[in-house]
Structure 1
Amino acid sequence: MTLAAGLFSILAICAGAFFFLAGTVGLLRFPDALTRLHALTKADNLGLGLIVLGLVPQASGVVDALKLVAVWALTQLAGATAAQLVARALRRRESGA
């Protein structure tokens, strides 16, 4: 592994950790459930994407790199689905239906 790939990995993983931290702060500071949900889904998806991007140069082969990308893609789908279900349940509770 080259020095440039190592530095890129460190920078991408640190940026991803920063976005995870920002999402956590949003969860704790925002006033209602929908804005908290928005902060979590956006920041955590970007944070995980940056961490996966930083780990791809560290992968031992193409198959391992594709596994990392597949985990990220499945997490994107699961996060979006869960956020949609939570938001729908909140809307129904607020409207009294």
Structure 2
Amino acid sequence: MSSVAELAISLLILLGGAFALIGSWGLVRLPSLMTRLHGATKATTLGVGGCLIGSMIYFPASGASWTAHELLVTLFLFITAPVSANMIAKAHLHRQRCRLDADAADGIKEELPEPSADTGWATFWTPEPAEKQDSSAIPRR
């Protein structure tokens, strides 16, 4: 195995381990679920991804046959981590919304922004009723 391959493998595994360590530290130390979720998904994607890419380089460089297992696991991880983080975030926001609705009887309710309000991202977007939609905007075949 060449020293360039050994250096690349070592750097990828160390980088993956560092991202996993920083992400797990963020998971413990960050204050809210949304910020913890950010730390956990970065640790999973970049930490495990770096180790898997290092593994993909190691086995062919050491003379073993190349397999697609590491590549498939990496692709699966890169696809599922953002989707699962999005679903957890939506469930958290839904839970907060239900808690606010339950507190409304006590007069403590804080209003959530309207879906059309410029708040940064559109979770809980509700489409307009059919009678308000412009029929010319709907593509026809």
Q: TM-score range by the shorter chain?
A: 0.7 to 0.9
Once the 2 structures are TM-superposed, how far is the Cα of residue 15 of structure 1 from its aligned partner? 0.8
Pick 1 or 2: higher relative contact order, CA cutoff 8 A, min separation 6: 1
Q: Which whole-Å deviations, capped at 9, do the CAs of 1:39-86 have from their partners, x for residues lacking one?
A: 111232011221122112212233x1x321110110122212221111
Give 2:65's match in structure 1, choosing from 44, 61, 70. 61
How does the TM-score come out when normalised to structure 1?
0.87
Give 1:73's match in structure 2, choosing from 64, 72, 75. 75
Runs of 4+ with >6 A deviation: none
Structure 1 stretches lacking a partner, 5+ long: none
Q: Separation in 1 of the partners of 2:71 and 2:93?
A: 33
For the residue of structure 2 that corresponds to 1:34, the secondary structure is helix
Residue identity over aligned pairs, in percent, reads 31
CA RMSD of superposed structures (Å):
1.4
Q: Between Structure 1 and Structure 2, which shows a larger proportion of helix residues? A: 1
How does the TM-score come out when normalised to structure 2?
0.62
CA contact (8 A) 2:44 2:81 kept: no
Deviates further, 67-76 or 19-28: 67-76
User: Does residue 8 in structure 1 map to residue 8 in structure 2?
Assistant: yes
After TM superposition, list the pairs within 5 Å mapping 1:26-45 onto structure 2: 26-45=26-45
Structure 2 stretches lacking a partner, 5+ long: 102-141
Q: Separation in 1 of the partners of 2:42 and 2:85?
A: 10
Q: Separation in 2 of the partners of 1:44 and 1:89?
A: 20
